[in-house]
Amino acid sequence: MHSCQEFLIWLISHQLLKELGLFYGPPGNTKSERFACWSFWGTLVGTWSSAFFLVLDWDRPWQAWPIPCVAGSLFGFTVGFIAFLLSPFKGPPCISLLQQSLDSVDHSQDHLLDRCLAFLSTYSWVYSFKWTELFSCPELDPVSTCPKEWVEALSDCEIAELQKFVVGGSVPTSWPESLKSFAEQCVTLTQELIESATFSPPATSVAPQAPSQGILCLNAPARHLFYQCRPDELAGIAPRKVKPKKNHEIEIMSAFLCDLLQNSMLLSNSPLGGSSKDVSNTKVTFQTAPFEGPHDSQGYLSVKLPTSASVLVDLGSGLGHLPRRVLQRIGTTLPGTLIVAVESNPVLHAKALQLESKKPHSERRLIQLFAHVEKGEFGQFKEKLVAALEERWKQQENVEEKLRQIDYLLCGLHCCGDLSEAALQIFHVDPCAHAIVLVGCCYHKITTQTDDIRENIEREQAFTFPLSSQLRAAFHRFSDAGTTVAEKSLKATVALRLACQWSPQQWSQWSPREVYEHRIRVFIRSLLEVHLNPSHAPGTNITLLKRVARYPINCSLPSSACLTSVRQPLPELTTHWHTLKSVAASVAGEEPTDTTVIDTAELTRLAYTKADVWHLLPGLTALQQLVQPLIEALILVDRLWSLESAPDVQFATLVRLFNPKLSPRCMGIVAVKKTSDTLRPL
């Protein structure tokens, strides 16, 4: 009887401890789990430690132990509770409070990634298909997968309603709750991902020695840091032939780089939208939040990220507009600073040299370096960099000593594809790369990891997406659970291309005519893919397809007043098909081509069978605009987390630099390594 009771007590206790997370492993990741764990073990240890007082009265332990037992349990619980309060801090609480200000909500990275991957697995049909193969791949047909109530809502609404929908605006009350929930989850997961990679830099009330070029501030509704560039009297003078978008990026990026080089950046101590009266719309992300205007805060802290960098290395510099603007901003503040503009395009490099040659030799602080920067070939790049600096310093004393002690700030403004990952690799492996500011683009051109590599990135330097150990582990968890949908979909070119296309804010500004023109181009291209490129098609059809797919649309468009509604009749494309047949005949004169391959009657029949897709095309575009920030956030966070694992990193964060309406790749990845005069790491 007693044995049965003891077994039941043990079984109940075991299950209770297991549910509380107290029986296995270290403290949990959530606050409730940590509180339960610390308080339980503190109470348990305190209670049994009180048994020491039994030596005072061995003959009557039932009289000697009760009071010490209660006192020990209370003391143990108090110690455990104090340990729970101190557990979030990596350093002294007084230093860590500022660091914790941006992370008031405790989220487990693993739990967050699992939620993101589960969501992206469920809705992979939204982003895993190619528009050009919309009709030719039945297994990836989004129309048949899209819930019926979604199809009805998205096919029978106004263009303006879809555009409000993608930027977090109000939607018709008649729309299904599941569709609204999908949009809310896209926003919430994007916000939480960006928040997990956003940190407040170390700061002090001591004013910087050099004038500040800009201010860092927290956008509370969107949960990201942004950099507000101070107005400059030269900002309106753009270099000749530089477009407004590029000039916008150069002005802000150059100011940010100057603040890092001079250690002059300011941090606002009052977040934008921090009070309820300032928050007009909290359903925004880094891609949909309005670009931050002048900040009214009167309280600023001085950011303390001292760098020892005496050289700025600009990867993919092009004609050198960015480094020249940096030199213009710093002026005589940092007279010894040099800038190395690295370019791999020989034509652009030659033009950059020509522009630089117009300056007097005594004023030249810009070095033009022709070099290919590729992953896995850091040694060759470093040799060229050192040789270029040695050539510049050859007339100075202690050249060898300067080369040994050189530290540089690595930057890249819209580094394309693998160039971004090559820059991250340089920051990892080169101790001289003291800081990095990177804005990437063209994610679909990166090399993805397709094999089952489980080695640690810090040891193997396998710089392929995913870069961080956290995201790799999340993919492995899903793979072990028997599903690889999210991993395969996210590594596919089509998903990476979606992540780097126009921003939701840009699409929301399209006119109804622009939406219709995009819609009809996609529809025609998909029809031609089915008609000209079946599995048994000859190779000449591919050449013809590329030629006719880009041909201007030859059909009458509805009036602008009729284009405000998503519900539009099928376009009359007979004239366009006949035009393409004439194009095919002209191609036949250049190379052997079957001029009868374009069957106008068959194309017309095929178009009418796809009427349901025609009505849903704007709605599918809107769904992709909702997912786009989430996929891009996953890529950005993966890169940021990989930087945090680099040797001697003191600080790393994401910062929104640009206006998404002008520059959709608006987020910068920033990291700074420790120096001898750096503050204690947080």
Nearest to 681 by CA among 638, 637, 647: 647
Of 26-30, 112-116, 191-195, the one with minimum mean pLDDT is: 26-30
pLDDT of 273 reads 66
Residue 367 sits at φ, ψ, to 5 deg, of: -105, 125
Residue 410, SS3? Answer: strand
What average pLDDT does the segment 276-289 reach? 70
- Alpha-carbon gap, residue 383 to 371, rounded angstroms: 10
Whether residue 30 has pLDDT greater than 70: no
- Which residue is associated with the tokens 């709605």? 619
What average pLDDT does the segment 126-143 reach? 82
Reported confidence tier of residue 386, pLDDT bands at 50, 70, 90: confident
What average pLDDT does the segment 50-73 reach? 66
pLDDT of 460 reads 42
Domain chopping of the chain, boundaries = 32-87, 120-194+509-627
Bigger pLDDT: 24 or 76? 76
Whether residue 341 has pLDDT greater than 60: yes
The pLDDT tens digits for 283-315 are 899 999 999 776 555 678 888 887 778 899 999
What average pLDDT does the segment 348-376 reach? 81
CB atoms within 10 A of CB 132: 17
pLDDT of 536 reads 64
Whether residue 362 has pLDDT greater than 70: no
Could you tell me how many residues make up the chain? Answer: 682
Half-sphere exposure of 151 (CA within 13 A, CB side): 12
What average pLDDT does the segment 16-20 reach? 45
Whether residue 271 has pLDDT greater than 60: yes
What average pLDDT does the segment 331-359 reach? 86
pLDDT of 564 reads 92
- Alpha-carbon gap, residue 405 to 180, rounded angstroms: 56
pLDDT of 594 reads 52
pLDDT of 3 reads 44
304 in Cβ contact with 679 (< 8 Å): yes
Task: Indicate the residue type of 411.
Answer: C
Residue 348, SS3? Answer: helix
The DSSP result for 1-53, as a single string, is -HHHHHHHHHHHHHHHHHHHT-SSSS--SSHHHHHHHHHHHHHHHHHHHGGGG
Of 9-23, 171-185, 475-489, the one with minimum mean pLDDT is: 9-23
pLDDT of 413 reads 94
Of 39-53, 186-200, 317-331, the one with minimum mean pLDDT is: 39-53
Whether residue 203 has pLDDT greater than 70: yes
Of 90-104, 216-230, 460-474, 644-658, the one with minimum mean pLDDT is: 90-104
Q: Is the dihedral of CA 309, 310, 315, 316 positive or negative?
A: positive
What average pLDDT does the segment 381-391 reach? 86
339 in Cβ contact with 312 (< 8 Å): yes
Which of 75-79, 357-361, 395-399 is most confident? Answer: 75-79
pLDDT of 449 reads 60
What average pLDDT does the segment 221-226 reach? 91
- Which residue is associated with the tokens 């050009």? 132
DSSP assignment letter at 662: T
Half-sphere exposure of 340 (CA within 13 A, CB side): 27
Bigger pLDDT: 607 or 38? 607
Reported confidence tier of residue 56, pLDDT bands at 50, 70, 90: low
Nearest to 426 by CA among 471, 465, 469, 376: 376
Whether residue 363 has pLDDT greater than 70: no
Nearest to 150 by CA among 182, 171, 179, 124: 179
Helices (H), ranges, 222-270? 244-262
Whether residue 167 has pLDDT greater than 90: yes
Whether residue 472 has pLDDT greater than 50: yes
Q: What is the mean pLDDT of the chain?
A: 80
CB atoms within 10 A of CB 355: 15
Q: In what order do the strands lie in the sheet with 224-229?
A: 203-204, 300-303, 266-268, 214-219, 224-229, 649-656, 667-673, 433-441, 408-416, 311-315, 338-343, 366-370
pLDDT of 621 reads 95
The pLDDT tens digits for 420-433 are 999 999 999 998 89
pLDDT of 531 reads 83
Reported confidence tier of residue 632, pLDDT bands at 50, 70, 90: very high
- Alpha-carbon gap, residue 71 to 457, rounded angstroms: 50
DSSP assignment letter at 559: P
What average pLDDT does the segment 520-532 reach? 89
> Which residues have CB under 8 Å from 385's CB, separation 6+?
313, 340, 342, 369, 371
